[in-house]
């Protein structure tokens, strides 16, 4: 595929619509699980031929504005521990800077500056592998959690065993966080901030590290973890956007098109959490994430061939890409359809019961 | 009649103090151990619940329901005993089981750390360092339990009327001093307190019944009671159990009416005088319908109001005998209930399926917080006209202070009734804003997409100054567009009533 200036794809009405749909599905999933969404949008853009590094750069810029809108609500609800966020921000910036440097190096190493098609293969391969590694772990954990909760005798909520274990490890100095009501070792904070920033900078999905770490490692309440992560995401998004834009990897058109879908989708997702059972949320999200992993895995042979690491007929490239795209959209659309069915069913049920109540009262 | 709740920790002498005080007052003494034993006999998995609470993190759906069952059982257990006469209860936070019941005597017992250390070393036969860790762990577990169970801090001194440090004086003397305090008129139950206790008792018994019945045990409920009217709210995904609710509760003694409301969340509406025909009522119902919320009414009387009169006014009228007596019956005038429109508004809410319960609280703003159940997930607190006896300027100030106080303590958005429409309902100003912002968004998109090549060249510039400019542009343009389009999206969803 010919890339403008060696990095930007041509956008026609069809591809623009696909990006809007990607944003909408990503927004629904993001609202539904409280963080993420980039795990769907970034690979989706890569399937449209956008180099991985540009997809990540555009997505992190998109994350900046979206988190800014979302964190306002969390702040109103008192779910943001600013002190905790401040400690994480410092090291997350280091992580992001490191990630941008590595991604840019990979892109340049793959010959991206010369602009020939497939030149970003090394960067694409690296981003895809990180995606597969992180998402496979997160998706499998979510599914395991959901399936265990469905079973008998599995009443225990995801327990912060690690938090208790770490609390017994003497690693001063410690920092107290009043809103989250926890005390955490500074060293643990720095490591988590660094990892969150690095993941956000590499694949645009820092929340998959930050939120579980806050809940399981720090012992922060779930609502505060989600609110603080969104607050943190605002700063990480801003820093990431500035860094990627400085390197020339932000496609403003992509960011704007993503907003068209995501800022509506996120409300639908949040609405879905009110009417869908917790276990179904984890089941749907876990399945969608694993299908995204599979979709990304299908795209790998094309990158490997471009790098000369496997001997494959170039004719297979479009097949791999089409199959990857089909799987991704299938996963996203199926997941969202399931959420929308639940939303619609709950809405109808509510109307029916309300009508019954009004009828009873007046009768 | 009086209820004395003593909050105790490990090896602080709280149990001994409670027993001594009960002995001096000649009233029964009840401990947390009695409560736990009864809960265990009722089939509540207290151990499992305790482990999950202490561990922290999110509770599974089943354990969250078990927590509701445990709280209701504990409240019913305490109310049962309290209705038989005065009592002294010693446990962790017994007073939190009775929100809204005034005139409780709430005591916290603390002890010198050195005293506790020595006691642990002596009782458990462990060295000093281990004993210190043991105390820290136990205190931490209890702190977590209270926080997870009631959403408050165990150590918050404002929760207690008295804090007794047993380092300074021995248990016998402390009990003697507390006997005098307990006899003060401030800690004797008034008719209003008794009514609050009765309402709590009814609601707690109803919740326990729902937890015991096979048809309803798997669902989450919030139950409130007021003068024999039970309001049960349940989540939308539990709608299938709704028909069973009245059947389960029909046999419950003291119930006049059962109202079931499906609600995804709750709105707390505070007023001094409610009016179901008012514009405010229409706005609250509109917001509640849009959010699928139940509206809980809280009538706030000034702290100086005669609480007993309020209790009498809120009490149910004597139920007329059922069935006709034969012959010509005289028309009997319905007694007029002077309750600031509370009953009429609660009835009106029930008729539109949005009732979340109703009650009256006579307290100052700082005591009002104690009457609000902190475990209820409120999405919004609406403060209407309160402090009606004050002049306009003073009223405005007091309402503003109350809103700030409630918002800070409950950590929930708190709005005045006059702002409700502009904040949560779609009006003409919203339409203008939506159209204006949409026009700006269209303009940005038009500029970007008709000048794609120039825009992309700008963002992929090679020179350092141009790169800095590109980064600055991204930093400014992206949040501005997000704000403009995000506002358009949220206003549009507000317009189609899907927030």
Of A157, A219, A357, the CB nearest to B353: A357
- In chain B, which residues have their Cβ closer than 8 Å to the Cβ of A219? 56-57
Instruction: Let me know: does B314 contact B339? Beta carbons within 8 Å.
Output: yes
User: Which residue of chain A has the CA closest to B264?
Assistant: A274
Do the Cβ atoms of A259 and B481 come within 8 Å?
yes
Do the Cβ atoms of B61 and A278 come within 8 Å?
yes
Give the whole-angstrom CA distance, residue B341 versus residue B314: 10
Does position A265 have pLDDT exceeding 70, yes or no?
yes
Give the whole-angstrom CA distance, residue A242 versus residue A236: 10
Site from B44, B236, B412 to mutate, A interface, most A CB atoms within 10 angstroms: B236
Give the whole-angstrom CA distance, residue B351 versus residue B392: 34
* pLDDT tens figures, B179-220: 988 888 888 888 888 888 899 999 999 999 999 898 998 888
Do the Cβ atoms of A267 and B493 come within 8 Å?
yes
- Tell me the count of A-B CB pairs closer than 8 A: 194
pTM of the model: 0.65
Does position A60 have pLDDT exceeding 50, yes or no?
yes
Position A359 scores a pLDDT of 47
Residues of chain B below pLDDT 70: 10-12, 56-59, 303-338, 497-499
- In chain B, which residues have their Cβ closer than 8 Å to the Cβ of A8? 456, 460
Q: What is the mean pLDDT of chain A?
A: 79
Do the Cβ atoms of B482 and A259 come within 8 Å?
yes
C-alpha distance from B149 to closest chain A C-alpha (Å):
13
Q: For B383, phi and psi rounded to 5 degrees?
A: -105, 120
* pLDDT tens figures, A123-153: 888 888 988 988 888 888 878 877 776 544 4
β-pairing, B355-362 with B378-383? Answer: unpaired
Give the whole-angstrom CA distance, residue B72 versus residue B208: 6
Give the whole-angstrom CA distance, residue B355 versus residue B296: 7
Which among A90, A38, A84 has a CA at the least distance from the CA of A225?
A84
CA distances from A89 to A85, A182, A221, A245, A271 (A): 6, 18, 19, 20, 29
Q: For B323, phi and psi rounded to 5 degrees?
A: 85, 155
**Residue showing tokens 């405005």:** B396
- In chain A, which residues have their Cβ closer than 8 Å to the Cβ of B352? 354, 357-358, 361
Confidence of residue A43 (pLDDT cuts 50, 70, 90): confident
Residues facing B5 on adjacent strands: B89, B106
Position B73 scores a pLDDT of 93
Of B60, B462, B474, the CB nearest to A149: B60
User: Which residue of chain A has the CA closest to B292?
Assistant: A350
Specify the length of chain B in residues.
Answer: 499
C-alpha distance from A132 to closest chain B C-alpha (Å):
27
Q: The domain at B192-315+338-424 falls in which architecture?
A: 3-Layer(aba) Sandwich (3.40)
A 147-176: CB under 8 A from B:
149, 154-161, 163-164
Give the whole-angstrom CA distance, residue B445 versus residue B440: 9
Give the whole-angstrom CA distance, residue A243 versus residue A240: 5
Query: What is the three-class DSSP state of B230?
Result: strand
- In chain A, which residues have their Cβ closer than 8 Å to the Cβ of B462? 248
A 239-278: CB under 8 A from B:
241-243, 245-248, 250-253, 255-256, 259-260, 263-264, 267-268, 271, 274-278
A252 or A228, greater pLDDT: A252
User: Which residue of chain A has the CA closest to B461?
Assistant: A248
Give the whole-angstrom CA distance, residue A323 versus residue B212: 52
Position B323 scores a pLDDT of 39
Position B75 scores a pLDDT of 93
User: Which residue of chain A has the CA closest to B438?
Assistant: A260
Position A233 scores a pLDDT of 85
Percent of chain A exceeding pLDDT 70 equals 80
Do the Cβ atoms of A252 and B242 come within 8 Å?
no
3-state secondary structure labels for all residues of B245-272? HHHHHCCCCCCCEEEEEECCEEEEEEEC
A103 token code pair: 């991604």
Do the Cβ atoms of A358 and B352 come within 8 Å?
yes
Position B242 scores a pLDDT of 85
Confidence of residue A170 (pLDDT cuts 50, 70, 90): low
C-alpha distance from B138 to closest chain A C-alpha (Å):
13
Do the Cβ atoms of A354 and B59 come within 8 Å?
no
Of B52, B413, B462, the CB nearest to A76: B413
Instruction: Let me know: does B300 contact B389? Beta carbons within 8 Å.
Output: no
β-pairing, B229-234 with B221-226? Answer: antiparallel
Of A181, A219, A256, the CB nearest to B445: A256
C-alpha distance from B120 to closest chain A C-alpha (Å):
20
| Torsional sign, CA B211, B216, B219, B221 | negative
Helix and strand totals (H; E) in chain A = 12, 2
Site from B50, B53, B54, B57 to mutate, A interface, most A CB atoms within 10 angstroms: B57
Instruction: Let me know: does B17 contact B164? Beta carbons within 8 Å.
Output: yes
Of A154, A248, A263, the CB nearest to B489: A263
Query: What is the three-class DSSP state of B203?
Result: helix
Sorted by sequence, the CB contacts under 8 Å of residue B216 that are 6+ apart come out as B210, B241, B244, B245, B248
The H or E element containing residue B90 is strand B87-91
B113 or A245, greater pLDDT: A245
Query: Largest alpha-carbon pair distance within chain A?
Result: 78
Give the whole-angstrom CA distance, residue B335 versus residue B12: 53
* pLDDT tens figures, A328-341: 888 888 888 888 88
Confidence of residue A165 (pLDDT cuts 50, 70, 90): low
**Do the interacting molecules here have an ipTM over 0.90?**
no
Do the Cβ atoms of B460 and A64 come within 8 Å?
no
C-alpha distance from B144 to closest chain A C-alpha (Å):
10
Does position A113 have pLDDT exceeding 60, yes or no?
no
- In chain A, which residues have their Cβ closer than 8 Å to the Cβ of B45? 155
Site from B474, B480, B495 to mutate, A interface, most A CB atoms within 10 angstroms: B474
CATH number of B3-189: 3.40.50.300
C-alpha distance from B412 to closest chain A C-alpha (Å):
5
A 77-106: CB under 8 A from B:
77-79
Do the Cβ atoms of A156 and B58 come within 8 Å?
no
Instruction: Give the single-character DSSP code of B182.
Output: H
The H or E element containing residue A314 is none
Of B55, B461, B489, the CB nearest to A160: B55
Do the Cβ atoms of A255 and B444 come within 8 Å?
no
- In chain B, which residues have their Cβ closer than 8 Å to the Cβ of A81? none
How many Cα atoms occupy the beta-carbon half-sphere of B275 within 13 Å?
A: 8
- In chain A, which residues have their Cβ closer than 8 Å to the Cβ of B456? 4-5, 8, 251-253
Position A157 scores a pLDDT of 46
Position A252 scores a pLDDT of 92
Residues facing B107 on adjacent strands: B6, B162
Give the whole-angstrom CA distance, residue B257 versus residue B264: 22
Position A36 scores a pLDDT of 66
CA dihedral A309, A311, A314, A316 (to 10 degrees): -100
Give the whole-angstrom CA distance, residue B97 versus residue B94: 5
Sorted by sequence, the CB contacts under 8 Å of residue B362 that are 6+ apart come out as B102, B192, B300, B301, B302, B303, B305, B307, B310
- In chain A, which residues have their Cβ closer than 8 Å to the Cβ of B244? none
User: Which residue of chain A has the CA closest to B49?
Assistant: A156
C-alpha distance from A16 to closest chain B C-alpha (Å):
11
Other beta carbons less than 10 A from residue B36's beta carbon: 17
The H or E element containing residue A234 is helix A222-247
Position B5 scores a pLDDT of 92
Sorted by sequence, the CB contacts under 8 Å of residue B374 that are 6+ apart come out as B99, B150, B151, B152, B410
């Amino acid at each position: 595929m010919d890339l403008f200036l060696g990095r930007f794809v041509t956008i026609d009405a069809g591809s623009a619509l696909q990006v809007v749909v990607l944003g909408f599905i990503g927004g629904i999933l993001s609202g539904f699980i409280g963080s993420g969404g980039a795990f769907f949008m970034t690979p989706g853009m890569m399937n449209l031929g956008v180099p991985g590094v540009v997809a990540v750069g555009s997505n992190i810029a998109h994350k900046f504005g979206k988190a800014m809108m979302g964190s306002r609500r969390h702040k109103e609800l008192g779910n943001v521990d600013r002190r905790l966020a401040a400690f994480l921000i410092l090291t997350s910036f280091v992580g992001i800077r490191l990630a941008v440097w590595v991604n840019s190096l990979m892109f340049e190493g793959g010959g991206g500056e010369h602009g020939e098609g497939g030149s970003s293969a090394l960067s694409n391969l690296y981003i895809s592998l990180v995606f597969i590694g992180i998402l496979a772990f997160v998706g499998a954990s979510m599914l395991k959690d959901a399936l265990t909760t469905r079973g008998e005798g599995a009443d225990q909520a995801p327990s912060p065993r690690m938090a208790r274990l770490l609390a017994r490890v003497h690693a001063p100095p410690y920092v107290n966080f009043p809103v989250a009501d926890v005390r955490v070792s500074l060293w643990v904070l720095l490591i988590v901030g660094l990892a969150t920033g690095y993941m956000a900078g590499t694949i645009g999905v820092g929340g998959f590290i930050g939120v579980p770490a806050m809940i399981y490692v720090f012992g922060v309440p779930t609502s505060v973890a989600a609110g603080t992560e969104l607050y943190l995401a605002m700063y990480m998004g801003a820093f990431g956007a500035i860094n990627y834009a400085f390197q020339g990897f932000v496609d403003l058109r992509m960011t704007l098109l993503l907003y068209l879908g995501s800022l509506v989708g996120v409300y639908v997702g949040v609405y879905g959490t009110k009417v869908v059972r917790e276990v179904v949320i984890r089941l749907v999200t876990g399945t969608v994430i694993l299908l995204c992993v599979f979709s990304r895995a299908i795209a790998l042979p094309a990158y490997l061939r471009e790098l000369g690491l496997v001997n494959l007929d170039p004719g297979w490239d479009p097949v791999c890409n089409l199959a990857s795209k089909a799987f991704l959209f299938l996963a996203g659309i199926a997941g969202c359809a399931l959420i929308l069915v639940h939303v619609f069913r709950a809405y109808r049920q509510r109307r029916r019961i309300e009508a019954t109540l009004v009828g009873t009262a007046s009768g | 009649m009086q209820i004395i709740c003593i909050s105790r920790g490990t090896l602080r002498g709280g149990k001994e103090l409670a027993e001594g005080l009960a002995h001096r007052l000649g009233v029964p003494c009840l401990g947390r151990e009695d409560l736990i034993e009864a809960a265990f006999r009722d089939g509540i998995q207290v151990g499992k619940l305790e482990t999950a609470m202490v561990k922290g993190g999110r509770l599974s759906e089943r354990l969250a329901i078990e927590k509701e069952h445990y709280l209701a059982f504990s409240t019913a257990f305490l109310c049962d005993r309290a209705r038989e006469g005065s009592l002294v209860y010693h446990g962790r936070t017994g007073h939190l089981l009775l929100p809204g019941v005034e005139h409780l005597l709430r005591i916290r017992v603390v002890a010198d750390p050195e005293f506790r250390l020595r006691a642990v070393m002596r009782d458990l036969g462990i060295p000093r360092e281990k004993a210190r860790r043991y105390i820290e762990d136990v205190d931490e577990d209890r702190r977590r339990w209270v926080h997870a169970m009631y959403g408050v801090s165990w150590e918050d001194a404002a929760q207690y009327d008295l804090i007794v440090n047993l380092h300074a004086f021995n248990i016998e003397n402390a009990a003697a001093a507390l006997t005098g305090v307990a006899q003060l008129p401030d800690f004797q139950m008034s008719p209003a307190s008794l009514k609050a206790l009765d309402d709590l008792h009814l609601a707690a018994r109803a919740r326990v019944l729902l937890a015991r019945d096979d048809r309803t045990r798997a669902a989450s409920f919030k139950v409130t009671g007021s003068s024999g009217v039970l309001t049960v709210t349940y989540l939308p995904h539990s709608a299938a159990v709704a028909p069973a609710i009245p059947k389960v509760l029909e046999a419950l003694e003291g119930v006049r009416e059962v109202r079931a409301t499906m609600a995804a969340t709750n709105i707390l509406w505070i007023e001094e005088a409610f009016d179901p025909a008012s514009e405010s009522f229409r706005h609250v119902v509109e917001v509640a319908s849009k959010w699928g919320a139940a509206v809980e009414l809280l009538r706030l009387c000034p702290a100086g109001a005669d609480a007993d009169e309020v209790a009498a006014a809120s009490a149910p009228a004597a139920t007329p005998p059922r069935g006709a007596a034969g012959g010509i019956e005289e028309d009997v005038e319905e007694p007029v209930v002077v309750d600031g429109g509370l009953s009429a508004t609660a009835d009106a809410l029930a008729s539109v399926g949005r009732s979340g319960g109703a009650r009256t609280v006579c307290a100052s703003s700082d005591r009002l917080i104690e009457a609000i159940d902190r475990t209820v997930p409120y999405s919004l607190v609406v403060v209407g006209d309160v402090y009606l006896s004050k002049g306009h300027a003073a009223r405005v100030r007091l309402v503003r202070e109350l809103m700030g106080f409630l918002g800070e303590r409950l950590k929930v958005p708190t709005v005045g009734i006059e702002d409700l429409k502009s904040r949560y309902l779609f009006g003409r100003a919203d339409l203008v804003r939506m159209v204006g912002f949409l026009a700006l968004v269209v303009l940005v998109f038009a500029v970007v997409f008709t000048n794609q090549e120039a825009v992309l060249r700008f963002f992929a510039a090679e020179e350092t100054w141009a790169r800095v400019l590109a980064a600055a542009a991204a930093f400014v343009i992206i949040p501005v567009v997000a704000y403009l389009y995000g506002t358009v999206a949220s206003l549009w969803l507000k317009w189609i009533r899907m927030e």
